[in-house]
């Protein structure tokens, strides 16, 4: 990897470097396009060869340091916009236009970043994770249809965004009229949080939601949360239609699950991308469901962007923790145990 700083605010936190992050939707990285990406203060590009292979590289040309993201694709290769050097999928320079037909120095290469395509996302890492990217639990579960929502740019810390995603007591206020009722907030009973091989898992927490899913019906919703990585969280929501007159619309197995991924751009800016799945209402399309997702995640963004300090405190003496924040408390403890310093105070 090139040592030259391609940007400011570089991350030196090994725990963060040695992890996988979603950096793009697979479907936005199409052959012929160069997608600029910023991850942990570092500028990258993603592009796709005609055979479908996706690449993530540093956004820099070894010749004179120009940005490849300002270039273009010609003949299945990335063209640097400055002197036109061309880099093939192997990362080798295959053309120096000012000296065609002459040997190209082997050092003339792009700088690949480790990446994989999984569950409709491009995942990248700047380090050497000891594990694979977490898998979407409903990936191969019969009866579920998967959809994407976002991207949602949060001018906020990624851990604050994840903690909000796994926070149940904000529903009646931040999502009043959708996920809760401000005049009649849910009373949250004790619930359990357990450690798993991969992170944290809560027991089911039941709340009443006026518009708890995409059918526009009131539901009793049972949330079971997990964190798979510090910046990848998930819930499985059990849906029971709360209005007896409409109960026939649903069935006891109805589930709405959400895989919430966060790309840390820097310590106080992130992009959330959402993969969600339902096993009911087969007539609903992604376009039908996107507006509700945009409303809910927009409401979350608006509140999370106000939180101060911007970096999440992992010392539990900071801020104030209540019994009903058990999952958030476990999350902060876990971040601390992982030794994460980037984005925390």
Per CB under 5 A, residues contacting Fe ion are: 300
Q: Which does 322 bind (CB under 5 to 8 A by kind): ligand FES, Fe ion, none?
A: none
Residue whose tokens read 């405190």: 313
Residues with Cβ within 8 Å of residue 266, at least 6 apart in sequence: 9, 38, 40, 41
Q: Which does 300 bind (CB under 5 to 8 A by kind): Fe ion, ligand FES, none?
A: Fe ion
Shortest CB 78 distance to ligand FES, Å = 10
Give the dihedral sign, CA 208/238/229/1.
negative
Q: Binder to ligand FES among 83, 155, 321, 323 (CB under 6 A)?
A: 83
Our finding on whether 97 is near ligand FES (CB under 6 A) is no
Our finding on whether 144 is near ligand FES (CB under 6 A) is no
Residues with Cβ within 8 Å of residue 44, at least 6 apart in sequence: 23, 36, 37, 38, 56, 57, 58, 59, 113, 124
Our finding on whether 64 is near ligand FES (CB under 6 A) is yes
Q: Binder to ligand FES among 61, 124, 149, 181 (CB under 6 A)?
A: 61
Count the helices and strands in the chain (H runs, E runs): 5, 18
DSSP-derived pairing of the beta strands 121-125 and 145-154: unpaired
Shortest CB 68 distance to ligand FES, Å = 8
Span interacting with ligand FES, options 81-89, 250-258, 260-268, 317-325, rule CB under 6 A = 81-89
The beta-strand segments (E) located in the chain are 21-25, 34-39, 42-48, 54-58, 72-74, 77-79, 86-87, 93-95, 112-118, 121-125, 145-154, 193-195, 200-202, 205-209, 219-229, 232-241, 255-266, 269-278
Residue whose tokens read 């249809």: 145
Shortest CB 117 distance to ligand FES, Å = 27
Q: Which is nearer to ligand FES, 34 or 274 (CB)?
A: 34
Shortest CB 231 distance to Fe ion, Å = 16
Residues with Cβ within 8 Å of residue 85, at least 6 apart in sequence: 61, 63, 79, 93, 95, 96, 97, 108
Our finding on whether 80 is near ligand FES (CB under 6 A) is yes
Our finding on whether 82 is near ligand FES (CB under 6 A) is yes
Shortest CB 270 distance to ligand FES, Å = 30
Q: Which is nearer to ligand FES, 58 or 254 (CB)?
A: 58
Q: Which is nearer to ligand FES, 63 or 109 (CB)?
A: 63
In whole angstroms, give the CA distance from residue 154 to residue 149: 14
Shortest CB 106 distance to ligand FES, Å = 16
Shortest CB 79 distance to ligand FES, Å = 8
Q: Which is nearer to ligand FES, 87 or 171 (CB)?
A: 87
Shortest CB 165 distance to Fe ion, Å = 7
Q: Which does 334 bind (CB under 5 to 8 A by kind): ligand FES, Fe ion, none?
A: none
Of 151, 93, 142, the C-alpha closest to 298 is: 151
Quote the tokens at residue 68. Answer: 């490849």
Q: Binder to ligand FES among 63, 170, 333, 336 (CB under 6 A)?
A: 63
Binding site for ligand FES (CB under 6 A): 61, 63-64, 66, 80, 82-83, 85
């Amino acid at each position: 990897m090139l040592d030259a700083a391609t940007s400011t605010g570089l991350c030196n936190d090994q725990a963060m470097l040695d992890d996988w992050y979603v950096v793009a939707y697979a479907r936005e990285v199409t052959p012929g396009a160069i997608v600029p990406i910023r991850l942990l203060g570092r500028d990258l590009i993603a592009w796709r060869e005609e055979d479908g292979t996706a690449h993530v590289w540093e956004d820099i040309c070894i010749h004179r340091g120009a940005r490849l993201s300002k270039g273009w694709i010609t003949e299945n290769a990335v063209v640097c916009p400055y002197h036109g050097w061309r880099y093939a999928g192997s990362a080798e320079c295959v053309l120096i236009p000012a000296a065609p037909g002459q040997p190209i120095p082997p050092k003339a290469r792009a700088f690949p970043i480790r990446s994989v395509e999984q569950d409709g996302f491009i995942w990248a890492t700047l380090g050497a994770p000891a594990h694979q990217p977490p898998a979407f639990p409903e990936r191969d579960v019969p009866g579920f249809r998967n959809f994407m929502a976002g991207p949602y740019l949060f001018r906020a810390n990624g851990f604050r965004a994840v903690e909000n995603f796994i926070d149940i007591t904000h529903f009646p206020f931040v999502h009043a009229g959708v996920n809760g009722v401000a005049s009649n907030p849910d009373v949250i009973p004790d619930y359990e949080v357990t450690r798993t091989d991969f992170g944290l898992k809560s027991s089911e927490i039941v709340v009443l939601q006026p518009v708890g899913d995409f059918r526009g019906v009131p539901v009793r919703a049972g949330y079971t949360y997990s964190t798979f990585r510090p910046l990848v969280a998930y819930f499985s929501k059990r849906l029971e239609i709360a209005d007896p007159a409409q109960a026939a619309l649903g069935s006891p197995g109805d589930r709405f699950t959400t895989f919430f991924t966060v790309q840390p751009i820097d310590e106080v800016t992130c992009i959330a991308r959402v993969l969600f799945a339902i096993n009911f209402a087969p007539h609903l399309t992604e376009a039908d469901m996107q507006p509700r997702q945009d409303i809910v995640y927009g409401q979350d963004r608006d509140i999370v962007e106000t939180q101060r300090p911007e970096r999440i405190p992992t010392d539990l003496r900071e801020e104030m923790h209540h019994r009903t924040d058990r999952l958030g408390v476990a999350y902060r403890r876990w971040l601390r145990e992982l030794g994460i310093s980037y984005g925390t105070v």
